[in-house]
Amino acid sequence: MGKVTRVLLLVMIILFVSYHQTFAAHQSDRSYYEEKGDVVWEVKTKHKMVALTFDDGPDIRYTNTILDLLAEHNASATFFVVGNRVEEAPEVAKRIIKEGNEIANHTNTHPNLSTLSQSELDKEIKDAEQAIFNVTGARPNLFRPPLGLYNDEIVHNIRENDYIAVMWSWHQDTYDWRNPGVEAIVNKVLKNITNGDIILFHDYGGDRSQTVKALAIILPELQKKGYQFVTVSELLKEDKKFQVPLMDIQEKNEKK
């Protein structure tokens, strides 16, 4: 091996190691975020409480039907809404709040956040927050990144905007967006249910009739087992590390 070749090989190795060290520095594992209280997947609690969450809406048809079911069973849920869809369905967004549910930020246009610059990410969060506020008068405290994609930069930006990042329990991803069948959605939830679960559904993005039908089964079945359906913010009160950064709607409005 010639001297030039060895030098080039050494440079390539250094660049390779440097790249992976840099990449790793931006990809902390789940436990790191959980311990800091920056991201939540589920909450440890002795109480039979779970949080139903719905992504990507609001949708005039399916969100309204889901709200009907929640009201029928005296259940609360958290809706991670997209800003431009709030503007398209303002009455549905208002109803979410009016009926005691929680509205949360899911960006303004539902992009892949890992492809955005920090200024673009910041704009997505702020534009969605403003759209929600303009329609409902509420400024949410919770944020869920589209597709569940995150890294250190994304989490940092979320926290800088006074949000807690909310994911979902890995064993409670219903994959309802795939339309796997009502039975599959029901079984996913009922067979894996644990105190403090954050359960993922979708109320927008195509035919969500399977989600609605599954929910009509899940709600009474879990209530029979003694489970209470609460908002994510209510669930977070079960863990002290989430109590300090959480602000209520009035406090956040005053800050803005």
Q: Active-site residue numbers?
A: 55, 202
Is the separation of the CB atoms in 62 and 212 below 8 Å? yes
Quote the DSSP letter at residue 242: G
Strands (E), the chain: 39-40, 49-55, 77-81, 102-105, 142-143, 164-166, 198-202, 228-229
Q: Could you count the other beta carbons within 10 Å of the beta carbon of residue 137?
A: 11
Is the separation of the CB atoms in 101 and 142 below 8 Å? no
Q: Could you count the other beta carbons within 10 Å of the beta carbon of residue 151?
A: 15
Structure tokens at 94: 């208002």
Is the separation of the CB atoms in 174 and 185 below 8 Å? yes
Half-sphere exposure of 173 (CA within 13 A, CB side): 9
Q: Could you count the other beta carbons within 10 Å of the beta carbon of residue 123?
A: 15
Give the C-alpha separation, 90 to 71, whole Å: 19
Quote the DSSP letter at residue 206: S
Could you give the angle at which helices 209-224 and 182-190 cross, rounded to 10 degrees? Answer: 30
